[in-house]
Chains A and B, each alone.
Chain A
Amino acid sequence: MWTEQEILMILQGLWETIVIVGVSTFFGYVLGLPLGVLLAVTDSDGIKPHPMLYKVLDVVTNILRSVPFIILLVVLIPLTRAIVGKSYGTAATIVPLVIAAAPFIGRMVESSIKEVDHGVIEAAQSMGAGTFKIIWNVLLAEARTSLLVGVTIAFGTILGYSAMAGAVGGGGLGSIAIRYGYNRWQPNILWPCVIILVLLVQLFQVLGMKISKDLDRRRS
């Protein structure tokens, strides 16, 4: 059914997908977590309201979020080239993925933080906690289960985006599925790729939810 070469190619694609999505999720959070914290903190009902800064972040986030990923991919080619030296392949896919994921992750982080009970924040303030301590010990610590659910959602979304990156010569299973499945109509390659992608999302979803649930102390 498959040649050894094809099996190796699919395995190679799987590995690339894991690397692309893993690294992109990581760097997405490197940018998105501070962004989300800033959005939540500087909002009018945040702990350090700053209308100007909030407005700027809000608008930038919305603009990036509203550009379709496939367009962003093309628009960002010069940036990608500047960072990784070329505009195709595994490493090159990561740049636009991070840029696309960061604002989306920022919004999820913002909404997770806003779920934290205002009374608990007030209690920390009444103890003399400064802004940084409240962010670290109250906002992020209390929102941790919701933040983890966000990570699993982000992973799934970035995985979806990564398949699109295949369309412009990025690496990974998505790219294989498009090249062999769409361009050459080889269902024996297309379907394994799709099934592996589905399983990957499932696996991560189940794992993420379990960790998040195990860490939650709100139930008795």
Chain B
Amino acid sequence: MSEPMIKLENVSKTFTSGSGEVEAVRNIDLEIEKGDIFGIIGLSGAGKSTLVRCLNLLERPTEGRVYVNGKDMIKLTNKELSVERRSIGMIFQHFNLLMQRNVLDNVAFPLEIAGEKRKNAREKAKKYLDIVGLSEKAAAYPAQLSGGQKQRVAIARVLASDPKILLCDEATSALDPQTTKSILELIKEINRDMGITVVIITHEMSVVQEICNKVAVLDHGNKVEEGTVEELFRAPKTEEAKKLVFSETAHIRRMQSSRQIRVVFDGRSAFEPIIGNIILELRTPLNILYANTQTINGDAKGEMILQLPDNKEIADKMVEYFKEKNLGAEEVNYVD
């Protein structure tokens, strides 16, 4: 396999302040392949934002090595780093547009930094504004745009420097669900059509499910789990990952004190009437508390929360049955 686009080796970042030391990120190893849409998910304070800033050295790791596009980032001089950063675009939760420049000049800004004349830069910027569908807003100022439009401008601004990598730091967290979807769609297009590798920092499992192919779970600065999104969704291994994956059904599980099980169906198991079979076989009804279909990486996945019967023997048998069928069965009894 070719060299990964991004490679972290044993990266740690410790902040020292008056009140002591905080280890924001601890001994992280990570490999992100060219063309990946890689999710880094974790609750707030997990160190995600610090980790993503270690990729373009907005934060300098206290320990470890960072390789991007084959280059040892930490060894670069300031000048070389500036050049390298142009191929690593970044978008932010709060968009971070220049408020005193109009939309077109915002997109032209990275080109000006790279030494283009303002006139040329503006000419090129028009093309990128067109890609994100905001040509008619060229003369508007950021304050006149909606959140989604601002993020589109930020994306056009990133594209203007023709990057190989796009880092998204909670890029949809300030947007409503509908706008989030359209922004994620745009990011997906960029990944597919321009071959740009994408790294997505988020605290929302739905974002990862919508767009990522691989994912790493971060907790208190540690990488606790890593794999494909499908694996994580079907059978999260660690407590931290479970918390994130199961968070959407927490309100349903809270209502019931009995034993509950979460099963995940995919195309393979959908042909077999599994729940019907179980009920017939064990002659005990099974209550469906929650059911939903999710698209993960383009595949439809069914997710269900089932309430198990009070009879422990029968309940155990049911769990076993689901496990045998390889449905990622996991008991998810709610504990506050």
Q: Which residues of A contact B (CB under 8 A)?
A: 117, 119-120, 122-130, 133, 137-138, 141-142, 144-145, 215-220
Q: Which residues of B contact A (CB under 8 A)?
A: 56, 58, 78, 81-86, 88-90, 92, 94, 96-102, 109-110, 112-114, 141-144, 154, 157, 161, 167
Chain A residues near B86 (CB, 8 Å)? 127-128
Chain B residues near A215 (CB, 8 Å)? 100
Docked-complex contact A120 and B98, CB < 8 angstroms: yes
B100 to chain A, nearest CB (A): 5
Closest-by-CB residue of A relative to B161 is A127
Docked-complex contact A141 and B144, CB < 8 angstroms: no
Interchain CB contact (< 8 A) of A137 among B102, B112, B157? B112
Docked-complex contact B98 and A138, CB < 8 angstroms: yes
Docked-complex contact A125 and B58, CB < 8 angstroms: yes
Chain A residues near B100 (CB, 8 Å)? 141-142, 144-145, 215-218
Chain B residues near A127 (CB, 8 Å)? 85-86, 89, 109-110, 113, 157, 161
A217 and B145 CA atoms in complex are apart in Å by 12
A-B contact pairs, 16 of them (CB 8 A): A117-B94, A119-B92, A126-B85, A126-B88, A127-B85, A127-B109, A127-B157, A128-B110, A129-B82, A137-B113, A138-B98, A141-B100, A145-B100, A215-B100, A218-B143, A220-B144
**With contact pairs A126-B56, A126-B90 given, residues A141 and B85 touching in the complex (Cβ less than 8 Å):** no
Docked-complex contact A117 and B96, CB < 8 angstroms: yes
Docked-complex contact A123 and B92, CB < 8 angstroms: yes
Closest-by-CB residue of A relative to B87 is A128
Task: Identify the 3 closest CB pairs spanning chains A and B, nearest first.
Answer: A128-B85, A123-B96, A128-B82
A120 and B154 CA atoms in complex are apart in Å by 11
Chain B residues near A129 (CB, 8 Å)? 82, 113
Chain B residues near A125 (CB, 8 Å)? 58, 85
B299 to chain A, nearest CB (A): 34
A60 and B85 CA atoms in complex are apart in Å by 37
Interchain CB contact (< 8 A) of B143 among A119, A126, A219? A219
